[in-house]
């Protein structure tokens, strides 16, 4: 789970790749750097992420069977919503209990 600002969007085959600036990592099981590519497995624009917007993303690490592809993926049923100060407060409070 991390806060990200969308820098760019590009369709690649049947997927969408977003270049993001990682603003605040809340919980992560894999390392994040300040700039990442986040993939969505469709080109329909779901979830709706617009360039310049800040979002709270719950993503997963996707590694293929050959272990040649390692990327951050927001699945179709993934969590992506606009970031607000309220979301930040709720996540920081939840981190104290988890």
pTM of the model: 0.81
Q: Which domain holds residue 47?
A: 2-96
Measure the CA angle with vertex 78, ends 44 and 15; round to 5°. 35
Query: Counting beta carbons within 10 angstroms of the beta carbon of residue 27, is it exposed (0 to 12), middle (13 to 18) or buried (19 or more)?
Result: exposed
Q: The domain spanning residue 80 has which CATH number?
A: 2.40.50.120
Query: Comparing 21 with 91, which gets the higher pLDDT?
Result: 21
What pLDDT, in 10s, does the model give residues 27-76? Answer: 777 788 899 999 999 888 778 899 999 999 988 888 777 766 688 999 87
How many domains is the chain built from? 1
């Amino acid at each position: 789970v991390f806060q990200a600002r969308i820098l760019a969007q590009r369709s690649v085959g049947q997927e969408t790749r977003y270049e993001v600036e990682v603003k605040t990592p809340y919980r992560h099981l894999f390392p994040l750097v300040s700039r990442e590519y986040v993939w969505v497995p469709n080109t329909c624009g779901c979830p709706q992420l617009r360039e310049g917007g800040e979002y709270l993303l719950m993503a997963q690490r996707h590694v293929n069977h050959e272990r040649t592809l390692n990327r951050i993926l927001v699945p179709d049923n993934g969590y992506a919503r606009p970031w607000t100060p309220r979301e930040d407060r709720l996540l920081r409070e939840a981190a104290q209990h988890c």
